[in-house]
Chains A and B, each alone.
Chain A
Amino acid sequence: MSWPNRFEHLAKVARDPRLKSFYQQGVVDPYQQLGQCEFVALDFETTGLNPNIDDIVSVGVVPFDLRRIRVAQAKHWLVKPTSPLAKESVVLHRITHSQVESAPDLEDILEEVFASLHGRVIVVHYQFVEKSFFNSALMARVDEGIEFPVIDTMEIEKSAINNTRNWLDKLKRKPIPSVRLADCRKRYGLPYYQPHHALSDALATAELLQAQAQYCLDPSDMVKRWWS
């Protein structure tokens, strides 16, 4: 499947004007080299783990390229989830009920979020969360889902680990090291950040991709080699 073609198709069938315009703007050229690309790290915090029940409570985006992360252009939104905020998740990401009470609905900030993704390759760590939650959240609100390509730092890490495991490791079923964000970062000497804040996690993901680009990614690789 080619993402430009897919976007062209989605632009035609999308009903919501905001989604339509998102698809019409198209995707980054799949043949562009990673070293030349503009990226944006995206992270959601959610009320729980099930996209069918739980909803998004915050969104963090951090634009960057392989040399520099531009913190000044980073953005962070708190949004009001449709499902109630569980006690455990309050503890986890330290977002309180009163904070989300006064927060806007995801729909109200949708255009701003799209604007900050525009023209950039989206980077996430563990794509399931961002893809499925974004999809379900829009389904619930405008009765249409969303699709988009991402580069997943977790996938890059898995493939890097796989390349360094020899047949003996595999034969012995030596356990694969953890690919959680914090554990991946540790392998590149990156500092520990307090997890479960959309902005810090997005920053952490951006830094991880920069590090991977100096160890196991070839900056001359084309975008299409890594996105999914």
Chain B
Amino acid sequence: MEVEHQEIANFLIAYPPFSDLPQEALHRLASQVEVGYYRGGSRILEYGEQITYLYVIRSGAVELFRRSGELYNRISAGGIFGQRGLLMNRKVRFGAQSLEDTLVYCIPVGVFDEYCDVYEAFADYFEADDNARLKITVSEQADSNDLTTAKVRKLLLRDVVYVERNATVQQAAQVMATEQVSSLLIYDPEKPVVEDPDEDDGQVVGLISDRDLRVNVVAKGLDYQTPVSEIMSTDLVIVDSNAYVFEAMMLMLKDNVHHLPVVHKRKPIGVVALSDILRYESQSSLLFVRGLMDQQSVEDLASYAKQLPAIFTRMVNEDANSHMIGSAMSIIGKTFKHKLLELAEAKLGPPPIPYCFIALGSMARDEQLIVTDQDNALILDDDYKPTEHGVYFEQLAKFVCDGLANCGYKYCDGGIMATNPAWRLTFSQWQSQFESWIDKPSPEALLNSSIFFDLEGVWGEVKWAEKLTAFVSKKAKSTPKFLAAMAHNALRRTPPLGFFNGFVLEQDGEHRRSMNIKRRGTAPLSDLVRVHALGVGSKKQNSFERLEDIDEANILPKGKVLDLQAALEYIAIMRIRHQAWQIEQGEKPDNSLPPETLSDFEQRNLKEAFGVLDKAQSFLKFRYQNKSMMK
């Protein structure tokens, strides 16, 4: 009689790649494992020794080390190790040590080989870069190749193909045929080259795609000698090379374009086509955005918004990282604003003067989650006359903010909304406002306005928002007093280091015995990142992208940027998972993390992440704190 090892099979079935095995194969595998127990702190594998098993952690936690002794990863129940060595030369690649009492299932190499041969999904799991499977830990953010977390630049297989603006459509078509591309960038050799390398756009003035040739040339019977400049699209939607594939797709759907120039700084480094990325189409959040575009009234939008928690939890369960979830939620939030502004303009008539609707805070940083206030404002054309235009924009703002509230985006307690006349300013007024914040900084005044330093245009003259950002980035970095005031504020909220010694921090209100992971974690981290970003003149809004700029500027001690990225990701993802869990339990999502829900492993990682924040705060103080202004 074949013996069924129910305990082992029931465990394995919950984790990939075992979850993908046919039931019979899973049971057969379960009956061939060997089991081993390691007391916390014991050595399991030594670098370079012969490896004869694939290891699966049944309970406990294991640390993997590089040859140099540097920590490579930390994994817990369901985690797998030993695969690198098995796949390469059967020598241990990463030394392993139990972090706590650990029980492992060891799959003998013969069985591992057999399963790789017979079961394709099993083999694929290991042969795809196994980094992608490793969970993010504090000291190492998995350098992931997983398709769902791929960045746009990875899709670029070739350089940009250009033609100049005077080329004929026939010449363009010939270039497309010989180069085998479906789009071309058009440049103007006479366009002045900007001096600032950050602003260099490679003299690009437009784009044509095979669709333009079909629709605008062939179908209309246009002369093949027509210059491309007459049919090209000039209002280009571009995507940063660091954006996720997924964000690029969102942009394509939102703006209904099929080709996106990919830029590094502002310079195009390639073009992605919708067809390049169509295979990701099943992403549920994409379908949500597409559906959102079809809603025709505030009521429809509000009832459609009820799906949002489900989209959020699905992304969490699909193991998206915090950056992806944050940007998906932000894009969704921005799409709500688009739709509401469209509806508002339909109701109130076209705007009497140009304007720009801006998002502030987490939405501008692409770090929005499910529990969120609306923070927004309006930039008005300098021709704004309160008596003539005041009513229109007051009504527009009210329509949008009420609509957002109906869709689940709470009104901002601090009144930072376009409905507040103080935040409906003309471009020049905004500029002087920022000037006064920067030139005459006081920590008190900046306390409530730091949110304005995360700013993004979402509708209308979005270039104005970029101009304001550029203005701030130039001015802030050369004003130490301002940076000192911002740093002072960034140090107001400290990480809960005592929390883990049984120390209870938040005694107030209904969230007793819990820790506010936003107030004590993600918020002080993004505050800190913002100060450094302003200090190095970064124009980025997203904290991860700001960290990349900070890294390039080399202002932090070596390795600290990596630590900060990992800490930010870990704290953010813990917050996200907590909220997803609450939603699944039918509770209202919040930011209060009860300690008893954390495993020892999670507690340790969080503690380490908070440690990183704590050290980074000390460094911030040292770098920017201006003694003279503290008097």
Q: Which residues of B contact A161 (CB under 8 A)?
A: none
Q: Which residues of A contact B592 (CB under 8 A)?
A: none
Q: Which residues of A contact B4 (CB under 8 A)?
A: 76
Q: Which of chain A's residues 152-203 have a Cβ closer than 8 Å to chain B?
A: 188-191, 193-194, 197, 199-200, 203
Q: How far is the CA of A71 from the CA of B53 in the complex (A)?
A: 14
Q: Which residues of A contact B34 (CB under 8 A)?
A: 68-72
Q: Does B100 contact A (CB under 8 A)?
A: yes
Q: How far is the CA of A69 from the CA of B105 in the complex (A)?
A: 9
Q: Does B149 contact A (CB under 8 A)?
A: no
Q: Which of chain B's residues 1-58 have a Cβ closer than 8 Å to chain A?
A: 1, 3-8, 11, 30-40, 42, 58
Binary flags per residue of A107-133, CB closer than 8 Å to B gives 1, else 0: 000000000000000000000000000
- Are B42 and A193 interface neighbours, CB within 8 A? no
- Are B37 and A190 interface neighbours, CB within 8 A? yes
Known A188-B101, A190-B103: A211·B37 in contact at CB below 8 Å = yes
- Are A191 and B39 interface neighbours, CB within 8 A? no
Minimum CB distance partner of B106 in chain A: A68
Residue picked from B31, B42, B59, most chain A C-beta under 10 Å: B59
Q: Does A207 contact B (CB under 8 A)?
A: yes
- Are A190 and B6 interface neighbours, CB within 8 A? no
- Are B35 and A71 interface neighbours, CB within 8 A? yes
Q: Does A20 contact B (CB under 8 A)?
A: no
Q: Which residues of B contact A190 (CB under 8 A)?
A: 37, 59, 101, 103
Residue in A68, A74, A191, A193 whose beta carbon sits within 8 Å of that of B36 in the complex: A68
Minimum CB distance partner of A70 in chain B: B34
CB distance from B77 to the nearest CB of A (A): 8
Q: Does A206 contact B (CB under 8 A)?
A: yes
Tally of A interface residues using CB under 8 Å = 27
**Range class of the B interface residue count:** 20 to 34
Q: How far is the CA of A77 from the CA of B103 in the complex (A)?
A: 26
Q: How far is the CA of A207 from the CA of B42 in the complex (A)?
A: 16
Q: Does B60 contact A (CB under 8 A)?
A: yes
- Are A189 and B36 interface neighbours, CB within 8 A? no
- Are A71 and B103 interface neighbours, CB within 8 A? no
Q: Which residues of B contact A214 (CB under 8 A)?
A: 37-39, 42
Minimum CB distance partner of B2 in chain A: A76
- Are B3 and A191 interface neighbours, CB within 8 A? no
Q: How far is the CA of A191 from the CA of B599 in the complex (A)?
A: 14
Q: How far is the CA of A206 from the CA of B35 in the complex (A)?
A: 9
Q: Which residues of B contact A75 (CB under 8 A)?
A: 3
- Are A211 and B39 interface neighbours, CB within 8 A? yes
- Are A203 and B59 interface neighbours, CB within 8 A? no
- Are A71 and B101 interface neighbours, CB within 8 A? no
Q: Which residues of B contact A193 (CB under 8 A)?
A: 7
Known A74-B5, A76-B3: A67·B32 in contact at CB below 8 Å = no
Q: Which residues of B contact A188 (CB under 8 A)?
A: 37, 101
CB distance from B597 to the nearest CB of A (A): 18
Q: Which residues of B contact A210 (CB under 8 A)?
A: 35-37
CB distance from B41 to the nearest CB of A (A): 10
Q: Which residues of A contact B1 (CB under 8 A)?
A: 76-77
Q: How far is the CA of A194 from the CA of B58 in the complex (A)?
A: 15
Q: Which of chain B's residues 404-438 have a Cβ closer than 8 Å to chain A?
A: none
Minimum CB distance partner of B100 in chain A: A189
Q: Does B579 contact A (CB under 8 A)?
A: no
Q: Does A215 contact B (CB under 8 A)?
A: yes
Q: How far is the CA of A77 from the CA of B11 in the complex (A)?
A: 23
CB distance from A144 to the nearest CB of B (A): 28
- Are A194 and B59 interface neighbours, CB within 8 A? no
Q: Which residues of A contact B3 (CB under 8 A)?
A: 74-76, 199
- Are A194 and B39 interface neighbours, CB within 8 A? no
Q: Does B102 contact A (CB under 8 A)?
A: yes
Q: Which residues of B contact A72 (CB under 8 A)?
A: 31-34
Q: Which of chain B's residues 293-307 have a Cβ closer than 8 Å to chain A?
A: none
CB distance from B46 to the nearest CB of A (A): 15
CB distance from A122 to the nearest CB of B (A): 18
3 A-B pairs with the lowest CB-CB distances in the bound complex, closest first: A189-B101, A69-B35, A210-B37
- Residues of A near any B CB (own CB < 8 A): 64, 67-72, 74-77, 188-191, 193-194, 197, 199-200, 203, 206-207, 210-211, 214-215
Contacts A71-B35, A207-B35 supplied; 13 other A-B pairs, CB < 8 Å: A68-B35, A70-B34, A71-B31, A189-B101, A191-B11, A199-B5, A206-B35, A210-B35, A210-B36, A210-B37, A211-B39, A214-B38, A214-B42
Can you report 25 residue pairs joining A to B where beta carbons are below 8 Å apart? A69-B34, A71-B5, A71-B8, A72-B33, A74-B3, A74-B5, A76-B1, A76-B3, A76-B4, A188-B101, A189-B40, A189-B100, A189-B102, A189-B103, A190-B37, A190-B101, A191-B11, A194-B7, A199-B3, A199-B5, A207-B35, A211-B37, A211-B39, A214-B42, A215-B39
